[in-house]
Amino acid sequence: MNVLAFLVPLALFMGLLGLGAFIWSLRSGQYEDLDGEALRILDDDDDKPLPPRD
């Protein structure tokens, strides 16, 4: 039972810490443009010419 006196406040603190990190990420714009990054990987940068072979 003495372990619960330590683990319950620790679990509450870690939960509040995770919630705070999630709220911070929402306010800092981490979830603003989800489609842009998903489509950026599909873009080929073939506009540049290849260097000449020796």
DSSP per-residue string spanning 21-46 = HHHHHHHTTTTS-HHHHHHHTT---T
The domain tally of the chain equals 1
34 within a domain of the structure (yes/no): yes
Q: What is the pTM of this model?
A: 0.60
In tens, the pLDDT along 1-54 reads: 899 999 999 999 999 999 999 999 999 988 888 787 777 777 776 666 777 876
| pLDDT at residue 35, as a whole number | 81
Residue listed under structure tokens 């990190």: 21
Please give the residue range of the domain that contains residue 37.
Answer: 15-41
- Asked if 9 and 2 touch (Cβ cutoff 8 Å), the reply is no
19 within a domain of the structure (yes/no): yes
28 within a domain of the structure (yes/no): yes
33 within a domain of the structure (yes/no): yes
53 within a domain of the structure (yes/no): no
| pLDDT at residue 23, as a whole number | 97
